[in-house]
Amino acid sequence: MIRPGLCSVTFRALEVPTVVRLAAEAGLERIEWAGDVHVPPGDLVAARRARELTEQAGLSVASYGSYLRFEGSDEVVRAEGEAVLAAARELGAPRIRVWAGSADSADVPSPERARIVRRLQEFADLAAAHGIDVGLEFHGRTLTDEIGSTLRLLDEVGRANLRTYWQPHQGMPEAEALETLRRAVHRLSTLHVFSWWPRSERLPLSARAALWREAFGVVAAAGGEHDALLEFVPEDDPALLRREAQTLRELITAGAEPPR
């Protein structure tokens, strides 16, 4: 099952009630709440309000989109992790999205990689104690900048509640992007869905329909439950969300259909 949803960061400038209303009107099911603006780490009031408004609209919380990168002293990382976990618990998030550092994997010395692995293990264990999963952002300038490093990192951390997100890397040809998905799909929790090409130009989702139809086919064939969360729309225009959400649902359905 692939559940369509929205990353609240798509509308960073809008208030929480407006984001909830837009998602509900667009027929989406879930929201990943951003930790940089809508639900700051440790802000239990904001987290509780976002959860209540989400549920009142008939939606559910998909995840807490944190910006935890596991950098700095152990004391700083521990305090940041506790604040993130507190917000996620109050939000009722079943998953916390995290980042594996802020440098390309090829540029990270072995001791620094080992430090991030250890900190991911500690955080994943804390989250597991509260029944929460952890998801790695699949992104450039992190240890998940390419699929080999991503899979290796999952093995190094070795925690059942740690999985990965997926999105097509900017500028990567479709065939290559889909191959990264095929290699990651059995360790996948969430897809961030957008249509950027050739770099960061924001296009309608329909402009990359072939990519996403096949991506959803790969995920559907693997089985299990996954979230497909719209992240960004052309010109950050809220008026386009309904159209983009409709395209998302159509592509999920098309991807699940057996080939003719």
Q: What is the mean pLDDT of residues 66-79?
A: 98
Chain segment 73-104, per-residue pLDDT in tens: 999 999 999 999 999 999 999 999 999 999 99
Q: What is the mean pLDDT of residues 195-208?
A: 94
What number of other Cβ atoms are within 10 A of residue 190's Cβ? 29
% of the chain residues with pLDDT over 70? 99
Report H helices in 26-146: 44-56, 74-91, 110-128
Whether residue 256 has pLDDT greater than 90: no
Chain segment 141-174, per-residue pLDDT in tens: 999 999 999 999 999 999 999 999 999 998 999 9
Q: How confident is the model at residue 260 (pLDDT cuts 50, 70, 90)?
A: low
Chain segment 204-254, per-residue pLDDT in tens: 999 999 999 999 999 999 999 999 999 999 999 999 999 999 999 999 999
Torsion angles phi and psi, residue 123, rounded to 5: -70, -40
- Report the range of poorest mean pLDDT among 150-154, 182-186, 256-260: 256-260
* Average pLDDT taken over every residue of the chain: 97
List, in order, residues 6 or more apart from 201 with CB less than 8 Å away. none
CA atoms lying within 13 Å on the CB side of residue 149 = 23
Whether residue 258 has pLDDT greater than 80: no
pLDDT score of 184:
98
Tokens 């998302």 locate to 248
Q: Alpha carbon of 218 to those of 101, 134, 204, 214: distances in Å?
A: 28, 22, 22, 6
Q: What is the dihedral of CA 135, 174, 4, 28, to 10 degrees?
A: 120
Whether residue 124 has pLDDT greater than 70: yes
Whether residue 259 has pLDDT greater than 70: no
Whether residue 257 has pLDDT greater than 90: no
Whether residue 113 has pLDDT greater than 90: yes
